[in-house]
Amino acid sequence: MKRRQWLKWGCAQCAGLAGFSLAGRALAQAEPVPVGADWSAPERFSRPRLEDEEGGIWALMDREETRLRRSPFRMRDARLEQYLLEVCCKLAGAHCPDIRVYAIRQPFFNASMAPNGMMQVWSGLLLRVENEAQLAAVLGHEIGHYVQRHSLEQLRDVRARMGVAQFMSVFGLAGQLGGLAAMAGGLAYSRDHERDADQIGVLLMRRAGYDTREAHKIWSNLQAEQKANPNFSTPNTLFASHPASDERRETLIRLTAADSGETYEAQYRAIIAPWRSTLLEDEMKRSRPSESLALFQRLLEREPGDPLLLHYRGEAYRLRAGENDMNLAVADYQAAIDSGRAQAGTWRALGQTRLKLGQAQAGQQALNNYLNLAPQAPDSDMIKLLLEGAR
Ligand SMILES: [Zn+2]
């Protein structure tokens, strides 16, 4: 089927959605198996009939997937998306052929999987997880929701609560920041679903040979970031759709205490390396410097002296601009430069910050170094003007 025809087909289904009965909850497929130590995933799901309620939800998700596929927020890195799919497949086993993964450039910690097999992984998650095992913990949890059909139930409930028109409008926004956030944040899972998905995630990780003890660290790390922000109000998107609690974290610790396995940290870093600078830059655009500082601090503990991380921690200090923050920023930029591996932009940041601190001579020198290292930089004329003004 050609794309245009396919789109028409998708929209024809959407228009018909309003007619579906919410009372008719009969599923064409078997009910999920209760989660226990001997749990095994149900058979692959077949595409539901379009005239069924579930068929309508699938059609809607198919339409969303078309938008997502063409969204300007998609990272369009075939190697990265293939890698994410391979991790999903290590976990999902027989369900692998039904999963499609999209890496989305959004600086929040989020992943979600729709009932039709569409998985989204946001770049804020990629920046934050420390190895493949942590990534697998999140993806395994999402696959848990999928195989137990939680996402289907959740979508039904949300649609019943919102009414069809509002429900459609939330999804219609996907591809825009607001829509993606609403899609992730508006759909919270129940406590029972979270517990089941956590348990399945651990089982799938263990069977795939991952170190399950990495799973609980994700929550500790996210909590540390949130606590760092004294004016914390908007929850992180994953907290919103998968409500985290100390109880969940402690259960994960208990479930995995006797385990061991692989973390695949080097493999993970190699895949993310080409994106690192972009992801750190995007993180700054959230304008939550206290949270970013907690994040960069943690990443620096794993990679002490990394010049890119030092540069961005400096940027976060500069943005926060609290007492002594400018001096801390200078120290970080300088440490990055002293490593001999700093980008030219670190000289610019150092120069601008020194000028702000009234250190005219050192500031000018740093900006001159920047111009020497990056003579073709798009802002070189502006920096020259700044230097002339400072004279
Ligand atoms: Zn969840």
Q: pLDDT digits over 38-83, tens only?
A: 888 888 988 888 888 788 888 888 988 998 899 999 999 999 999 9
Q: Using a pLDDT cut of 70, give the percent of the chain over it.
A: 81
Q: How far does residue 132's CA lie from ligand 1's centre (Å)? A: 19
Q: How far does residue 383's CA lie from ligand 1's centre (Å)? A: 48
Q: How far does residue 198's CA lie from ligand 1's centre (Å)? A: 7
Q: Which of 158-162, 278-282, 357-361 has the lowest mean pLDDT?
A: 158-162
Q: Residues 359, 306, 325, CA angle at the centre, nearest 5°?
A: 35
Q: How far does residue 158's CA lie from ligand 1's centre (Å)? A: 15
Q: How far does residue 185's CA lie from ligand 1's centre (Å)? A: 12
**Which DSSP state fits 38?**
T
Cβ–Cβ under 8 Å, residues 368 and 380: no
Cβ–Cβ under 8 Å, residues 305 and 341: no
Between CA 129 and CA 103 the distance in angstroms is 14
What pLDDT is stored for residue 161 in this prediction? 73
Residue 232 scores a pLDDT above 60: yes
- Residue 245 contacts by C-beta under 8 Å, 6 or more apart in sequence? none
Residue 93 scores a pLDDT above 90: yes
pLDDT tens digit sequence for 279-302: 999 999 999 999 999 999 999 999
What pLDDT is stored for residue 173 in this prediction? 46
- pLDDT: which is higher, 16 or 158: 158
Q: Using a pLDDT cut of 90, give the percent of the chain over it.
A: 59
Residue 110 scores a pLDDT above 50: yes
What pLDDT is stored for residue 154 in this prediction? 76
Residue 326 scores a pLDDT above 90: yes
Q: Which of 95-104, 182-191, 248-257 has the lowest mean pLDDT?
A: 182-191
Give the rounded distance of the alpha carbon of 317 from its chain centre.
Answer: 23
Question: Cα-atom radius of gyration of the chain, to the nearest Å?
Answer: 24
- pLDDT: which is higher, 202 or 154: 202
Q: How far does residue 324's CA lie from ligand 1's centre (Å)? A: 40
Q: How far does residue 142's CA lie from ligand 1's centre (Å)? A: 6
Q: Residues 50, 54, 57, CA angle at the centre, nearest 5°?
A: 85
